[in-house]
Chains A and B, each alone.
Chain A
Amino acid sequence: MNGITLSPQQLAVAQASLSCRLFLEGVAGTGKTTAGVARMHYLLKSEIPADRLLVLTPQRTLAQPYYDALRSPDTPGGGVVTVTTIGGLARRMIDLFWPLVAEEVGFQRPADRPVFLTLETAQYYMARIVTPLIEEEGYFDATTIDRNRLYSQILDNLNKAAVVGFPPGEIGERLKGAWMGDLVQARIYDQAQACALRFRRYCLAHNLLDFSLQIAVFAEHLWEEPLCRDHLTETYTHLIFDNVEEDTPVAHDIVYSWLGTVESGLVIFDHGAGYRSFLGADPVSGHMLQDLCDEQRIFVESFVMSGSVTALGAAFDRVLRPSVPDGETAPPIGDAAPLAPAPTADSVTGNNGIRATLHFGNRRFHHQMLDWVVAEIQALVRDKDAFPGDIVVLAPFLTDSLRFSLAHRLHRVGIPVRSHRPSRALRDEPATQTLLTLAALAHPEWEILPSRYDVTDALRHAIHELDLVRAQLLAQIVYRPHRGQPELTPFDEIQPDMQQRITFVFGGRYEALRTWLAAYRTRQAAPLDHFLSRLFGEVLSQPGFGFHRDVDCGLVAAMLVESVQKFRWISADLADNRRPLGREYLEMVRQGVIAAQYLAPWQEEEQDAVLLAPAYTFLLSNRPVAYQFWLDVGGLGWWERLYQPLTHPFVLSRRWPTGKVWTDADEHALRQRGLQRLVLGLVRRCRVRVYLGLSDYSEQGFEQEGPLLGAVQQILRRFQSERGGV
């Protein structure tokens, strides 16, 4: 297996009997996934047909080691292993078995094809449904959050109902049952409930399937349908399910009944994780899969942490582990699955190890802390020959400005840097704005009048090497809105002295663009994505124009075309479309409903580069590094959770008894446990050293004394007292 030497424990898992169902558990970094990949190879080498093998993970990023292994030339030839998620499987099965269940589920057009919504298009429909309620009936007037967050929280409630396995009509009651404050909040929950049900009815009427409906149709109907279930259980007779603690109760239910039928199974459980709990992950139901397994194995030894990092993890565990109240046998929330017994600090290398592993930079102001981080990274790369790709900079929330400040500083000292997402949304890209402005100019019937500023910008990006001054001049002269309609006048109608200032080269290019748009206006309007494709191919990417051989512009334009196309496919045949779809798309972009999200993959990233990421995103990439920098250690962000007035990830979980009130103590325990889990998860993915970036004042200028800082101080106090106050 690509030169990796397996430990005897890993080998035992990989080479377990071909009829064995095995439950493998352990903390991060103990080589469980490596054993899982080795198991996959062993099955293939044992002449199990590859197409009998299903590898499930809760999200694609967690399956990367399996994809990498399967792409290797060492993989035996034959069929192909299926690597997917329960969501992926649900969608495929709906596509295949739609005619069997469409009517029974309640879709009103069962003869038509199902329409799968992306997150973006689901938000669009939610916006259509909720906007009139907000504007005409005063829904959610007591909340101040951004509308798009309202939509996504309502969708999130539906997702929770589907992945936890309760009817969507119970969302409001469950939320209200746990609430004991004012009536205003209870009304918000009622309104969220009403919106969710309206959305569901709309989806059923139009064959639309958002993520929640995909899961519900699969779990409640297709999995019960013998044709579909037999197809799956007869096709896949060997199952590997990795990171089960990050998957949802309904996924666990399905695998629970599936495991009974397979020839072999390997279930891998990561102790102390469950980072996706706000997406419905349920480590408790994941751990129950061990009941179906013939054997359990626990991996204890870390292949990642040095002895001193292990000691640091133990010290954090000691100060952050929540105490269980008298009379309670398990923590009140979420992940009651057992944590592996943590080694004590002293049992590993003693406190001296911690000293070598924790490195501080305490500065007064935030920007000084960033300077310290960059200086330390520079020293690591320059003096210690560290690879930039072995360094990660983490914060609980990574704001755009923080990312920019850090990336800029690192670039300045010549250190490559990459981020978990692009710095801009699709709609903010100049190429997107250029294309959409030109689309508005080509479609006067949309009655969208771009500003002169937008037209200037579009001309500047559309015409190769046209500078801002000339673009402004050109736009000022040729852009003549007429009776509320956008108009571009010909270059040869401009005064000769102005023509000369703009130059005839640019004038010629402008004229080519203008005549192309004018010719388009004489024909019947095409779908917006087709229009954009032609504009891109026939004009903007041709020599003399701004997108010519510009691979970034090509990528942005391709993503835009794809987004518009999906939008058209989901909405083309809806009877209640009153406006041209192109105009509707532009309107939704303007409102930030569409093209506002960050869709990976964006750009090919340099791999050997310092990664800047939010802490949870890093955890779910499951890739250990040598050096971690934790920013704003004094900040509350490490402890707080997102403000979500329309939902509650824990009240809607399977662990929370309906009607039980969520108290401040529960909230405190949840946060404390979240912090413990997060910190241990990070330490377990660190090989050499953790750097703590501290500043007296946050990025926003507030003093910082959060619980993570408190934990660090406790560890240091203990360290000092155990060393006799040295």
Chain B
Amino acid sequence: MLPESFSFSQASLQDFVACPRRFQLRYLLRLRWPAAEVEPIEEHERRMMMGRTFHQMVQQQHLGVPESRIERGASDPDLLRWWQNYCVYRPVTSFSGDAASASARSEVTLSATIARYRLVAMYDLIVVEPGKRAVILDWKTSDTRTSEAILRERMQTRIYPYLLVQVGAALNCGQLIRPEMVEMIYWFPAFPDAPARLPYDADHFSRDGAFLEQLIERIADMEEDDFCLTSDLRQCEYCIYRSFCDRGIAAGNLDDVTAAYELQEGDVEVDIDFEQIAEIEF
């Protein structure tokens, strides 16, 4: 039942693992359901905005915008602290070594076809020292330091290194990236001296490949009624569809969330479309 043009991402596969029904509602039926995901909404929104702004500040710095000018945009004290941590700890240089041949690319998107479907990943930053190392840096802007054990299990940790090895050759002067070259590093601006470093190897690569292939095939073969509701009711506390599924009323509390919150930024474009202009109504 999956349309041929369907694309998977770490977020959609993570949703599937958390609750198949959520995957179906969100990505297949594209059900818009504006209930609160978590309470208090205000604080959640503040953190989301801060995370988004932090990502952008790092990208600006990477593109050469002077740091003093970037810093002026950090209006929230927490954001300013994150930014200052970033400037002090300099994770890009500290993790990429000082090899002159290393090159860093921010906001890279890679995609590959797995089990007949596209799998897409958006990386915060990839540093490649050709033929030697390929470091994936991901900024985790949560206010808790997620453990390595939890991070290891996340779809992102399985997909990002896998895709980099599979289709990242262009970043390595056209040569295949070997799994052993890859390291995935989560850097927490709120915990700058406690990054989570997750090395990669051929074993991980083959296991992740088989796992992703099987998972996508399984989803592709599912019928409409196969997308069952999760048995883990805690998932429902942090799910916008809880009233749709009759799984509760109020959203769970942000302070009780244990795993790091993922950012899901939309791609917003401003276009002038005929349909959007009341004035031009034919």
Contact = CB atoms under 8 A, between A and B. Distances in A.
Contacts of B249: 537-538, 542
Nearest to B60: A96
B36 A534 contact: yes
Given A536-B34, A543-B246, A73 B274 contact: no
A89 B172 CA distance: 27
Given A73-B117, A543-B246, A600-B275, A99 B63 contact: no
A254 interface: no
Given A227-B63, A549-B244, A159 B5 contact: no
Interface string A371-396: 00000000000000000000000011
Contacts of B33: 541, 554, 558
Interface in A90-119: 91, 95-100, 110-113, 116, 118-119
B65 A100 contact: yes
B60 A642 contact: no
B99 to A, nearest CB: 21
Nearest to B170: A49
A119 B240 CA distance: 28
Given A91-B270, A112-B75, A152-B278, A559 B42 contact: no
Most buried by A among B242, B274, B276: B274
B279 A614 contact: no
Interface in B234-282: 240, 242-244, 246, 249-251, 268-282
Interface in A550-585: 551, 554-555, 557-562
Interface in A585-614: 596-600, 604, 614
Contact of A598 (B73, B120, B276): B276
A616 B246 CA distance: 46
Nearest to B245: A549
Most buried by A among B72, B110, B275: B275
A71 B118 contact: yes
A548 B35 CA distance: 12
Contacts of B12: none
Contacts of A148: 278
Contact of A542 (B110, B243, B268, B281): B243
Interface residues of B, number: 65
A321 interface: no
B144 interface: no
A214 interface: yes
B34 to A, nearest CB: 4
A87 B118 contact: no
Interface stretch (A77-85, A296-304, A695-703): A77-85
A554 B34 contact: yes
Interface string B29-68: 1111111100001100000000001001001100111100
Given A77-B166, A530-B42, A96 B270 contact: no
B174 interface: yes
Given A99-B66, A227-B64, A71 B280 contact: no
A541 B249 CA distance: 9
Given A537-B240, A542-B249, A558-B34, A77 B276 contact: no
B4 A72 contact: yes
Contacts of A527: 42
Contacts of B167: 77-78
Interface size for chain A: under 10, 10 to 19, 20 to 34, or 35 or more residues? 35 or more
A60 B278 contact: no
Interface string B132-168: 0000000000000000000000000000000000111
B103 interface: no
Interface in B54-107: 56, 59-60, 63-66, 69-70, 72-73, 75
B207 interface: no
A78 B34 contact: no
B176 interface: no
B36 A60 contact: no
Contact of B113 (A59, A73, A554): A73
Nearest to A123: B278
A599 B276 CA distance: 6
A156 interface: yes
Nearest to B246: A543
Interface in B177-220: none
A279 B170 CA distance: 40
A615 interface: yes
B271 A87 contact: yes
A88 interface: yes
B108 A79 contact: yes
A642 B35 contact: no
A532 interface: yes
A533 B36 contact: yes
A99 B42 CA distance: 27
A50 B65 CA distance: 26
B31 A554 contact: yes
A249 to B, nearest CB: 15
Contact of A60 (B66, B117, B271, B281): B271
Nearest to B166: A77
A278 interface: yes
B109 interface: yes
B117 to A, nearest CB: 7
B18 interface: no
Contact of B41 (A95, A420, A533): A533
A68 interface: yes
A396 to B, nearest CB: 6
B280 A278 contact: yes
B282 A73 contact: no
A573 to B, nearest CB: 10
Contacts of B34: 532-533, 536-537, 554, 557-558, 560-562
B282 A60 contact: no
A551 B31 contact: yes
B64 to A, nearest CB: 5
Contact of B32 (A74, A91, A559, A615): A559
A533 B120 contact: no
B223 to A, nearest CB: 20
A61 interface: yes
Contacts of B251: 537
A644 B70 CA distance: 43
A520 interface: no
Given A214-B270, A278-B280, A541-B33, A99 B60 contact: yes
B281 to A, nearest CB: 7
A600 B4 CA distance: 23
Q: Ordered nearest first, which 8 A-B pairs have the shortest CB separation? A: A537-B35, A614-B282, A77-B112, A558-B32, A77-B167, A99-B69, A71-B5, A111-B72
Given A116-B270, A279-B272, A538-B35, 15 more contacts: A51-B109, A60-B269, A78-B167, A78-B170, A79-B110, A88-B270, A99-B72, A111-B72, A118-B270, A395-B282, A397-B282, A530-B42, A537-B243, A554-B34, A557-B32
29 contacts: A49-B170, A60-B269, A71-B5, A71-B118, A72-B5, A73-B116, A77-B110, A78-B110, A79-B108, A80-B110, A80-B111, A96-B56, A99-B72, A116-B270, A149-B278, A149-B279, A152-B279, A211-B270, A211-B272, A214-B270, A227-B63, A420-B275, A526-B42, A532-B34, A541-B33, A541-B35, A541-B244, A551-B29, A615-B282
Interface of B: 4-5, 7, 29-36, 41-42, 53, 56, 59-60, 63-66, 69-70, 72-73, 75, 108-113, 116-118, 120, 166-170, 174, 240, 242-244, 246, 249-251, 268-282
